[in-house]
Amino acid sequence: MRNTKASKFSDRHLGLIEEAQVEILNALGHADINDFISSVVPEEILDAQPPDELLPKALNEIEALEELRSIAKKNQIKRSLIGLGYYGTYTPAVIQRHVFENPAWYTSYTPYQAEIAQGRLEALFNFQTLITELTGLPIANASLLDEGTAAAEAMSLSFAVNKQTKARKFIVDDQVLPQTLAVLKTRAEPLELDIEVVNLTDLVINETVFGLLIQLPGKSGQLGDPSSLIAQAHEFNALVTVAIDPLAQVLIAPMGQLGVDIAIGSSQRFGVPIGFGGPHAAFFAIKEEYKRLVPGRLVGQSIDSKGHSALRLALQTREQHIRRDKATSNICTAQALLATIASFYAVYHGPHGLEEIAKNIIYLRSQLELYLKEFGYTFAPDCRFDTLEIHCLEAPEIHRLSILSGFNLRILPLGASIEKSKGFAVSFDELSTTKELYKLCKIFADVKDKNFEPRENTNFNFKESLTSLPLRTTPWLKQQVFNNYRTETELMRYIQKLASRDFSLVNGMIPLGSCTMKLNATAELLPITWKEFSSIHPFVPSDQAKGYGYLSEQLEGWLCALTGFDGVSLQPNAGSQGEFAGLLVIRAWHKAINQADRNICLIPKSAHGTNPASAVMAGFKVVAVECDEYGNIDFEDLVLKVETYSSELGALMITYPSTHGVFEPNIRQICDQVHLHGGQVYLDGANLNAQVGLCRPGAFGADVCHLNLHKTFCIPHGGGGPGIGPIAVAKHLVAFLPSKNFHASDNNAAIGAISASPLGSASILPISWMYIRMMGADGLRQASSLAILSANYIANKLDPYFQVLFKAPNGKVAHECILDLRSIKRITGIEVDDVAKRLMDYGFHAPTISWPVAGTLMIEPTESESFEEINRFCEAMISIRSEIDAIESGITDLSNNPLRLAPHTMETVTAEIWDRPYTRQQAAFPLKDQFMNKFWPAVSRIDNAFGDRNLVCSCSTLEELSET
């Protein structure tokens, strides 16, 4: 198909048509886009042309989908019964269509502006409720990145609780999942924590132990009562974490009832495809006394200004910006979209449906045991949930025949080839049927030269298979939400009701600085539902995942070309994890050249709060660097710091363009100074949307850079995740990138596992592949150029009304700008929060507020917003300025005004009594076009302090509601 202009994807992605570009360029005093970009990006780093020889030519969406389909077909679709934390599951069609494929859910931002995020907050509140009901623990967060990360966070929390003691040992069950152990080892090493893997039958705990991790069921399938182990650990004040399979927890006694301090696990079984290992939402539940140490985000209940119940993010666990190097974690991304899917899966099935799924798994596993005994296989008579391991001489033949019949069984020992296997394991899941069981049994019987006669056990009682541990005895999930929506009609309406309470890119521009809320094109997202990508287990034989191998290598190559680096790891599944991985690579390199004492990390005061948190996690000591009046690094202070710490200097972390939205003019000199004193330069890629195709960090001196694929490369934010934060590194650091083999390292220099699967959130990599493939080199350069152009237009248009805080000496900004509202507060008392809430009435999500400077708004329009939408936003901001002027001049009351009382709900505006000195029209319809297209905030302004004083993070049951 000829790639005509009408079918050119970049014309669909880019918001500014040629006429708009000309108008903006004229307003800014430039003849063309190249002249303009030359005035913004420092000449010494600006590439004359994008590296198109290393990048593909642009395809239209039909051609790109066809090419990706041919790559996907390199993956082999087989029924994987490997287990190890990854299982077949069915996403109910109503959830796939109305949530997973609905831009109202996948294009929304993290719910920091709670009044226009009540829908996804409720879905996450339901998720937290599900987890508290499952585990019997009172506090659960709104999800973590994966089970391995959750285990590592539990280890860190356990250590923090016992930090005043000399205990530094964390005991790990030898039945823990291999990927979890790999992540734990990576996290423990820079913090000098000692991990001891033990058989729990031989457990001995003393005062050197601060925590214990138990896996239920273990990787071999066994279940056992952990009560005595918990009691033993608590005698020495060690915290106990249990990694629990959520479907097993449906039937067995809640872990909280057994005395567990922390319960973790993966919700992948709850309707989220395997997807070669991710993304999946982990859960994390704790006792009440540790609630202020919870990593990640916690949704809590509060009230709004009308006294109505309302939800918001609680306890500042959502933010690490303030605590910086004292943060409990560097986690700033959750798996909100996947947690939402899991919560709706539980709503769809209800408690009884979940119980039936779990019981069917036990039935099939018990039937397999009966048949295998008849065939002559031997195994220990343990209590098990879904998995059975068999060691036998016939294993290679069993694996060969199973694959021919369309099944992948677990190869034993882990990491062995089929030819050298000594056994096999079968893990049943939601998709397992008696038909599958009989096909497998026929193979097992034939290998032993036995006859197989299928029969149904009508007298099966699941309790007889779970005799070694207590079972759930009381009703659970009694909340209305898990029992009301039994028909698809009602569930569809509930899902859409929640979606209507959320602001997303469906409704308008989300101008968040540093967060890059751009178009997530439908063609980019289509492939992630293909079974060739969604059904592949991360531990299948490599010849079955050649499509993922090809796609990842191609994507890594493109990212190298765009950044000027020599190697990429796609494993980190969030930007925060990319920071951590990049710093570990730097640390490993210093160690390899016998300079392990280099443990100082310089970080500008303007840096994102995850930067110092990541540095501490990676074993560095943080030293702050001052910034100058333009928002750049204070070069004199940098020189002083690198000279002061010359022999100890490990790294400089710098965001480029700066967090203040300006291109550092002397970035090469900054890098040279750090290198001169033996350090490495880590470039935070949060603002890479101003660089792609224009300049390359690897070419101007950086050694490591993480890339936010969920920002620059179009993976949707999903209401707060999923994300991907791969790292790109210079040639001398390539050998230290994370290993892709969790069973046996394929590279002795490599740092350990960063996430719980070899390619991290692999199933959403096709989104970024499609974006790059359809944009091509020229389109990517144009995207960065227009993002910068739009930001400068906004800065130029709003500067007469709100001071633009940081500019380059020539008056230009990068791809975002910061408006300073601090003088407004001094004069009128109006806070930046007031402006943020008032923007809701105008039909906009607020920009980033009070970061990196308190009392400011940071605005990033991105390249995909139209001239009309950008002007509509500017019109809203100018109108708000006039409302502020009315307060300043005394025309409007200081407290009874449309900013202080914003946002205005439909209930407020239509109330019979209106006692405000401004009109209802000004309150709700301040812009003319809103009469035809109005987004209503779901609740009035929320009282965050009330919610923190009265923390509620799960739904009430009917009984609890009746008592209030």
DSSP percent split of the chain into helix, strand, coil, nearest 5: 45, 15, 45
Element (H, E) at 408: strand 407-412
Which tokens belong to 909? 């505006």
Residue 273 Cα distances to 49, 268, 529, angstroms: 41, 7, 9
φ/ψ (deg, to 5) at 678: 85, 5
Comparing C-alpha atoms, which of 332, 748, 734 is closest to residue 569?
734
**Residue 961 confidence (pLDDT) above 60:** no
Determine the Cα–Cα distance for residues 295 and 308; give it in Å rounded to an integer.
28
- Give 122-171 pLDDT, tens digit per residue: 999 999 999 999 999 999 999 999 999 999 999 999 999 998 888 999 99
Position 252: which residue type? I
Comparing C-alpha atoms, which of 228, 270, 274, 271 is closest to residue 245?
270
Which tokens belong to 761? 């959130």
8 Å CB contact between 700 and 45:
yes
**Residue 404 confidence (pLDDT) above 90:** yes
- Give 655-696 pLDDT, tens digit per residue: 999 989 999 999 999 999 999 999 999 999 999 999 999 999
Position 127: which residue type? F
Residue 752 Cα distances to 121, 183, 190, 945, angstroms: 34, 7, 11, 41
Which tokens belong to 427? 């893990």
Report DSSP state, residue 109: P
Determine the Cα–Cα distance for residues 311 and 115; give it in Å rounded to an integer.
8
The full DSSP string for 820-850 is E-HHHHHHH---HHHHHHHHHHTT----EES
A 10 A CB-CB count for 239 gives 27
Cβ contacts of 639-644, under 8 Å, gap ≥ 24: 639/673, 641/602, 642/602, 642/673, 642/674, 642/676, 642/677, 642/679, 643/677
Determine the Cα–Cα distance for residues 322 and 319; give it in Å rounded to an integer.
7
Where would I find the beta strands (DSSP E) of 632-762?
Answer: 649-655, 680-685, 704-707, 727-729
Helix axes 434-447, 395-404, angle to 10 degrees: 140
Residues 6+ apart with CB under 8 A from 345: 91, 92, 95, 270, 271, 272
A 10 A CB-CB count for 961 gives 11
Determine the Cα–Cα distance for residues 927 and 879; give it in Å rounded to an integer.
9
Which tokens belong to 795? 């800065």
Residue 626 Cα distances to 620, 636, 665, 697, angstroms: 19, 9, 16, 22
Output the furthest CA–CA distance in the chain (Å, rounded).
95
Q: What is the pLDDT of residue 2?
A: 47
Determine the Cα–Cα distance for residues 714 and 695; give it in Å rounded to an integer.
19
8 Å CB contact between 172 and 782:
no
φ/ψ (deg, to 5) at 264: -130, 170
Comparing C-alpha atoms, which of 821, 796, 806 is closest to residue 881?
821
- Give 879-905 pLDDT, tens digit per residue: 999 999 999 999 999 999 999 999 999
pTM above 0.85, yes or no: yes
Comparing C-alpha atoms, which of 133, 516, 108 is closest to residue 340?
108
Comparing C-alpha atoms, which of 708, 667, 683 is closest to residue 611?
683
Whole-angstrom distance between the N-terminal and C-terminal Cα of the chain? 66
Split at pLDDT 50, 70, 90, the class of 747 is: low
Percent over 90 (pLDDT), the chain: 88
Burial of residue 458, with CB atoms counted within 10 A of its CB: 0-12 exposed, 13-18 middle, 19 or more buried: exposed
**Residue 962 confidence (pLDDT) above 80:** no
Q: What is the pLDDT of residue 745?
A: 53
Report DSSP state, residue 607: S
Q: Residue written as tokens 């119980």?
A: 355
Split at pLDDT 50, 70, 90, the class of 632 is: confident
- Give 697-734 pLDDT, tens digit per residue: 999 999 999 999 999 999 999 999 999 999 999 999 99
- Give 70-95 pLDDT, tens digit per residue: 999 999 999 999 999 999 999 999 99
- Give 908-952 pLDDT, tens digit per residue: 999 999 999 999 999 999 998 899 999 999 999 999 888 888 888
Strand partners, 209: 169
Determine the Cα–Cα distance for residues 154 and 171; give it in Å rounded to an integer.
12
Q: What is the pLDDT of residue 516?
A: 95
Helix (H, G, I), strand (E, B) or coil at 288: helix
